[in-house]
A and B are shown apart, each in its own frame.
Chain A
Amino acid sequence: MTQPEREGEPARAEGPAAAKLSPAARRNGGNGRLADGLGWFSLALGGAEVAVPALVARNIGVPNTPENRLLLRVLGAREIASGLGILGRDRQAPWVWSRVAGDAMDLVLLGLALGSATSKRRQLGVATAAVAGVAALDVVAGKRQARHDASRAGFEHVTRSMTVNKPPAEVYGFWRNLENLPRFMKHLRSVTVTGPDRSHWVVQGPAGRSVEWDAEIVEERPGEFLAWRSLPGSQVDHSGWVSFRPAPGGRGTEVSLRLAYHPPAGRLGSAVAWLFGREPEQQLREDVRRFKQVIETGEIARSDASRGLLGMRRAQPGTAQPYPAFERGEER
């Protein structure tokens, strides 16, 4: 019953591993470690400058005067701001660049200090070299992070599973007709089958913009597994698979759905980001839940409040609830 090992499948082992990463690393899928390291470096250096400016002054070789201690404290506050920005924000690139600007400022100040008669030149030279080295790292991280931020409008490899009370063959049959997908996948406006393995997908973005691409089925094991991906050169790099395993004791079918979206940077990317919000995992769970509802009961559960009827208001907007695309989808 187990499937051959393939990239990213089965999905069950990924939860704990993902949980071990820092929030920033999790956001970045682990790609932001250099940026994270620089963030922590900023916090440490800034903390030292604010807390013990006299010690820092002695170590870099500038006179321990009240003016220099004040200056170091100000620089320390700047470092802390950069560090918090890098570690705490979704988009890290601007904060890494703020470090580069800070490095430039530090180098100018160190240059001025080198010209001063009261400075210790050897220590200052070491400090200047260190700052220059860190600045180089900052530039590398900033460039890398900018590329990463731009591609982060999508997400990769989110999997959700649910057991449905139908045999695998029937569940598979429903999925194999990809035109059924928009019945329960909220972000899809339509899927049109255009050939034995080809289909045309349309999602509706904000302000009436639609995003479209062609996809093909890349692997198919009837009753067990189905994988598809967008054709090379599509606007959106999308892939997904769904697996069907008989649940223990003959209690239906365990359905696992995995999706990945890599939209390009820019407005198209933000349209796809808008579709999935900040928690694609929850969106996907709702998709699978609706699939279960459709295949078990023939309909999607709706209440008066979930439709805003009878004067009843919708529940507080949650990650999984009100998206215009869903409302349009429901009308079908």
Chain B
Amino acid sequence: MKATRWQGKQHLAVEEVPDPAIMNPRDAIVRITSTAICGSDLHLYNGFIPSMRKGDILGHEFMGEVEEVGPEVRGLRAGDRVVVPFPIACGACLQCQRGLFSLCENSNPNAWMAEKLWGFSPAGIFGYSHMLGGYAGGQAEFARVPYADVNHVKVPDSLADEQVLFLSDILPTGYMAAENCGISPGDTVAVWGCGPVGQFAILSAYLLGAGRVIAIDRFPYRLEMAHDHGKADVLNYEEVDVHEALKEMTGGRGPDSCIDAVGMEGHTPGPVGAYDRVKQAAMLETDRPVALRQAILACRGGGTISVAGVYGGFIDKFPMGAIVNRSLTIKSGQTHVQRYMRPLLQRIERGEIDPTFIITHTMRLEDAPAGYDVFLNKEDECVKVVLKP
């Protein structure tokens, strides 16, 4: 089959590799019909996630048709049309039973690596480094899905791929980011980052009762999408002092909650941005937490900072004093997709959510390397790239 393989920093190749096979009794093989490039794939592409190896197959947002199931898979059979959640969950451990699927205790065969960096290991993730399992990803023609009885949501033929594909990651991720804010009716929510997750976080914040959403980015076309489609007020951080602007817009109080939909490769103008770029390049910090710092300082006292952007390791100049002295709450986590995918599918079926508005580019799988570049460099007003194997 053809698969998108990581060759090194900013170097990908779509190459022929052997087809995946059933390895365990609860596996399924899915023939992929649509797959997407995630913002977090760019962290891999840029070489910021440790434990990638040359030849690794990327991609954790994918859907398709079940080709084959192992003998122990219940409730799923060849021919079913499914979306696959990005965290791999066994469904049997205590964390899965609590609904914390991205913390599955069993699905990472390289748990010892993650334990060295993070203390304990989270779930394995498709196509997301060896530390998170070394699973082949879904930017390919086929994928092997472990514990397939748990890791799928069946989708009806009445819905197009584009309407349901994002149930794999970014729609639940934006939704969980908003849910983690604990929004009370009428709250003001500020969202850093107007990429796909940010757009879905804006939409979800309103669904959960926010009175106003303020979106922050630097690309006018993304702010325009947040404004026109998301009904958010917008701030361009290259044009205004975000902290002062948020204060003014909220009557001097600050947003009730703040969502960081940026993560480890944040940008900011001026010396702070330069400081983090230098430290990250010199491996003195793994992540550039510029959005997170701003969000913490901007949030009203007693408010919540919800972190949906991916951070990998260690950050610098973390304003702990603001958190302690102003009773702030930080909530985060890789998305427990299995918890959200069915309720969100129902909302899509009822027409309450149409996630297709973020798709700006549809390309062939063979063009994945070009897709990554377009997405990384925000060329051609790119928001989301969907690949068709």
Contacts and interface: CB of A to CB of B under 8 A. Distances in A.
Residue from B18, B91, B92, B107 whose CB has the most chain A CB atoms within 10 Å: B92
B90 A297 contact: yes
Contacts of B113: 315, 318
A163 interface: yes
A270 B90 CA distance: 38
B interface SS class: loop
Interface stretch (B20-28, B284-292, B315-323): B20-28
Contact of A320 (B3, B112, B130, B136): B112
Contacts of B91: 297
Interface stretch (A19-27, A44-52, A281-289): A281-289
Nearest to A165: B94
Contacts of A321: 110, 112
Interface stretch (B53-61, B197-205, B368-376): B53-61
Given A312-B55, A312-B134, A297 B147 contact: yes
B56 A305 contact: yes
A297 B97 CA distance: 13
A163 B113 CA distance: 20
Contacts of B51: 315-316
Interface string A69-102: 0000000000000000000000000000000000
Given A296-B106, A301-B108, A306 B57 contact: no
Interface string A306-324: 1101111111101111000
Given A301-B124, A315-B130, A306 B92 contact: no
A299 B22 CA distance: 13
B5 interface: yes
B172 interface: no
Given A165-B97, A297-B147, A309 B20 contact: yes
Interface residues of B, number: 43
Nearest to A166: B92
A interface SS class: loop
Contact of B112 (A252, A282, A303, A311): A282
A219 interface: no
A304 B20 contact: yes
Given A293-B106, A296-B92, A305-B130, A312 B57 contact: yes
Contacts of A196: none
B138 to A, nearest CB: 12
Contacts of B131: 315
A193 interface: no
A6 interface: no
Given A165-B94, A298-B72, A311-B18, A305 B26 contact: no
A145 to B, nearest CB: 33
A292 interface: yes
B55 A315 contact: no
B87 interface: no
Interface in A21-48: none
B20 A310 contact: yes
A251 interface: yes
A304 B124 contact: no
Nearest to B106: A293
Given A165-B92, A305-B130, 20 more contacts: A251-B94, A292-B93, A292-B106, A293-B106, A297-B90, A297-B91, A300-B24, A303-B109, A303-B133, A305-B136, A309-B21, A310-B17, A310-B20, A311-B15, A311-B17, A312-B53, A312-B56, A312-B134, A313-B53, A315-B130
20 contacts: A285-B112, A292-B105, A293-B90, A297-B93, A297-B147, A298-B72, A299-B26, A301-B146, A304-B20, A304-B134, A304-B136, A305-B56, A306-B109, A306-B134, A310-B18, A313-B56, A315-B110, A315-B134, A316-B51, A319-B112
Interface of B: 3, 5, 15, 17-18, 20-21, 23-26, 51, 53-57, 72, 90-94, 97, 105-113, 124, 130-131, 133-136, 144, 146-147
